[in-house]
Amino acid sequence: MASLELKGIRKSFGSTPVLDDVSLTLESREFIAFLGPSGSGKSTLLRIIAGLESADAGEVWLEGRRIDQLPPGDRGVAMVFQHYALYPHMSVRQNMAFGLRNARVPSEEIDRRIADAAAVLEIEPLLERKPAQLSGGQRQRVAIGRALVKEPKLFLLDEPLSNLDAALRLRTRVELAQLKQRVDAAVIMVTHDQAEAMTLADRIVVMNDRRIQQVGPPMEIYRRPANTFVAQFVGSPAMTLAPASLVEGDGEFAVLELGDGTLVETRVPRSVLPVGGALRLGIRPEAVRVGTSGTKAKVDLVERLGERTLVYARLADGQPITAEDSGNSSLKIGDEVTLEFDGAAAHLFDAEGNGYHRAGS
């Protein structure tokens, strides 16, 4: 049985549509990330599942039971908020017990659940402290613990790492990855950080413009983006998109000509491409290498990352492109550079932005 089903969810705030016919199925114990820019509707969708917002249309089902007409406390859902939402006058133990006491859970059962959650999250020494005595990472773990003690069927995490500094965010990301192995429930996390989504999620739901753009495992999203939005939103730096024309021929795979005359031999079958219409070539930085023969470009910026160097350049027709060089690259702004394209890794996009990818991968 599916853990969660969303059926045709629609939502508007006044005359502003926020969600438009969103449907999704979440499997048991699956970790899903809602990934998208601000305003894409991902947090509103999470709040509808939690019962903090009501949908204008559609249904929410959890483990075979319709829950969108139930109050939040009766849904079997626990939510961890972006800003922790801990009671400052209560100890960690009291914060974790608060919801259970309101639900009239027996004291012995409350103590057991708190002890179990504290052990999983390694916060036993913090139970008698108050939130002001905790670090940001510790507060986040307490917030997760408060959700954990409810033993929900579904966890909802709303930007859980956004208030942490870079080092703590990385450490807490590792803790979340370990936690999902121990929790017998499905998890949905809202984030705008693709690294979090790629690291933690079993599947990513990419959202934009009120709709789901693509659903799939992280590397499928990366390797076979459904459209130009996904192609540029997932991946850092973003995929280069360059206008291109299809070279006539009878070969199995498409050959594209860029605006500066560069020919790129792709592994995208000609047979899948639409007849006529504009095309764009999509290619990620790792598929464009600084070399000794190939296309000439002028360097606009050099970004040194240690193990590799990112080169932001322009082709002869002014088309921006991002390439990779070795970590000890000697390139500098203004240099002329030669770029070699790995056409087998290229993608094609039609006038509507739909993606076409290499056969068999």
- 285: CATH: 2.40.50.140
Tell me: the pLDDT tens digits for 88-119?
899 999 999 988 888 888 999 999 989 888 88
220 and 335 part of one domain:
no
Task: Please indicate, yes or no, if residue 235 is contained in any of the structural domains.
Answer: no
Given 194, 227, 260, the domain boundary residue is 227
Burial class (CB in 10 A: 0-12, 13-18, 19+), 353: middle
166 and 287 part of one domain:
no
Given 202, 227, 252, the domain boundary residue is 227
3-state class (DSSP) for residue 132: helix
- 203: CATH: 3.40.50.300
327 and 279 part of one domain:
yes
100 and 139 part of one domain:
yes
Tell me: the pLDDT tens digits for 171-218?
777 767 777 777 777 889 998 888 889 988 999 999 998 999 999 999
CB-based contact 34:188 (threshold 8 Å): yes
Work out how many domains the chain is built from and give that number: 2
56 and 156 part of one domain:
yes
71 and 194 part of one domain:
yes
Burial class (CB in 10 A: 0-12, 13-18, 19+), 128: exposed
Residue 296 CA to residue 336 CA, distance in Å, equals 7
Beta strand 203-208 with 31-35 is: parallel
Given 193, 227, 261, the domain boundary residue is 227
Task: Please indicate, yes or no, if residue 272 is contained in any of the structural domains.
Answer: yes
245 and 223 part of one domain:
no
Task: Please indicate, yes or no, if residue 361 is contained in any of the structural domains.
Answer: no
208 and 245 part of one domain:
no
Residue 332 CA to residue 349 CA, distance in Å, equals 32
Tell me: the pLDDT tens digits for 123-143?
888 899 998 888 877 887 888
CB-based contact 62:76 (threshold 8 Å): yes
List 324's β-bridge partners, or say none.
289, 310
81 and 153 part of one domain:
yes
The one-letter code for the residue type at 247 is V
User: Which uninterrupted H or E stretch holds 105?
Assistant: none
Q: Which domain holds residue 206?
A: 4-227
- pTM given for the model: 0.86
97 and 217 part of one domain:
yes
For the chain, what is the mean pLDDT?
A: 89
**Structure confidence at residue 225 (pLDDT):** 96
Tell me: the pLDDT tens digits for 8-65?
999 999 889 999 999 999 988 899 999 999 888 999 999 999 999 999 999 999 988 9
Token pair in block for residue 87: 């009671």
Q: Check pLDDT > 70 for residue 167.
A: no
